[in-house]
Amino acid sequence: MLSRRGLIALALAAFVAPAVAETPKIPVVASFSIIGDFVREVGGDRVSVATIVGPDGDAHVYQPSPADGRKIAQARLIFVNGLGFEGWIERLIAAAKGKGTVVTLGKGVAARAGEEGADPHAWQDVGNAKIYISAIRDALKAVDAQGAETYEANAAAYLSKLDALDAEIVKTFSNIPKERRRVVSTHDAFGYFAQRYGVEFIAPQGLSTEADVSARDLAKIIRSVKQNEVSAVFLENIADPRLAKRIAAETGARVGGELYSDALSDAKGDGATYIDMMRHNARELAKALAP
Ligand SMILES: [Zn+2]
């Protein structure tokens, strides 16, 4: 506890201290938490990142607020995923009269085609995350040439961490027999993960969380869970847990835990950064799949 005199001294010191000339940070927006983490990694101290859909949030069905419009209006760069992920973003940018450059990170990847169109969940393959990082680096360099060296260095350091993460995930599954690598998730968010890391996902909901699950679709999933010997049913941090729990109850499959699909966790969770969330998912899956 500071004494009264101490407090006065502190207040005076703050008053007389010469203002430190600080370079103003570049205001940027990230549409959702995972991109927010990427932009912070590359931008470091030079940028101030405002994220629209925060931890555990569902970007598919998000409803923007006036505060989001203000973030957009101030931003020099607006980083979005695209591929139909944030269906509300274009209207928000138009309504806010945002003048910042829109950088659509999903454009750079080889998009998977799902039944309902392009699969937006590209970040679930670490190789695609690397493509996002390079695009973020280039966009920041274009608006802030003075920071070019910083962005290059930050991106290079993070890209090498992503290489290590990718190798770690591959290794996590290396001892698990192919026939055991089948699980249920809530929505179809893990197609890129499946493609890269060789785990098969069955999901009652499609590529978006928007559509309701019909009784017929659910019955189909339950049948296929029973036939295919699915190792576990996983919850998702952005989805209602009841659906997965019901499938587990009706089939006798075990509930494997919670996966981070379309959002990071809050700071206290195990998925507060992209690297942590991918590592968490891989470990939870491997635990459930191990014979
Ligand atoms: Zn999704």
% helix, strand, coil for the chain, step of 5: 50, 15, 30
Q: How far is the CA of 186 from the centre of ligand 1 (A)?
A: 10
- The residue count for the chain: 291
Give the contacts of 285 (CB within 8 A, at least 6 positions apart): 172, 173, 183, 199, 234, 256, 259
**Predicted local distance difference test score (pLDDT) of residue 21:** 64
**Predicted local distance difference test score (pLDDT) of residue 281:** 98
Phi, psi torsion values for 254, nearest 5 degrees: -90, 150
Q: How far is the CA of 183 from the centre of ligand 1 (A)?
A: 17
Residue 112 has pLDDT above 90, yes or no: yes
Give 41-88 pLDDT, tens digit per residue.
Answer: 999 999 999 999 999 999 999 999 999 999 999 999 999 999 999 999
Q: Are strands 77-80 and 200-202 parallel, antiparallel or unpaired?
A: unpaired
**Predicted local distance difference test score (pLDDT) of residue 114:** 79
Q: How far is the CA of 187 from the centre of ligand 1 (A)?
A: 7
Residue 224 has pLDDT above 90, yes or no: no
Phi, psi torsion values for 77, nearest 5 degrees: -135, 140
Measured CA angle at 252 (ends 282, 172), to 5 deg: 15
Q: How far is the CA of 208 from the centre of ligand 1 (A)?
A: 5
The pLDDT of 13-19, averaged and rounded, is 54
Q: How far is the CA of 46 from the centre of ligand 1 (A)?
A: 30
Q: Which helix (H) or strand (E) holds 37?
A: helix 33-43
Domains of the chain: 26-166 (3.40.50.1980), 170-289 (3.40.50.1980)
C-alpha to C-alpha distance for 221 and 85, rounded to whole angstroms: 24
Phi, psi torsion values for 78, nearest 5 degrees: -125, 105
Question: To the nearest whole percent, how much of the chain has pLDDT over 90?
Answer: 75
Residue 1 has pLDDT above 80, yes or no: no
The pLDDT of 198-208, averaged and rounded, is 91
Q: How far is the CA of 185 from the centre of ligand 1 (A)?
A: 11
Helix, strand, or coil (residue 238): coil
Question: To the nearest whole percent, how much of the chain has pLDDT over 70?
Answer: 93
Helix, strand, or coil (residue 80): strand
**Predicted local distance difference test score (pLDDT) of residue 214:** 85
Q: How far is the CA of 146 from the centre of ligand 1 (A)?
A: 37
**Predicted local distance difference test score (pLDDT) of residue 183:** 94
**Predicted local distance difference test score (pLDDT) of residue 19:** 57
Tokens 């029973």 -> residue: 226
Q: How far is the CA of 119 from the centre of ligand 1 (A)?
A: 9
Beta-bridge partners for 182: 200
Give 147-188 pLDDT, tens digit per residue.
Answer: 999 999 999 999 999 999 999 999 999 999 988 899 999 999
Q: How far is the CA of 142 from the centre of ligand 1 (A)?
A: 30
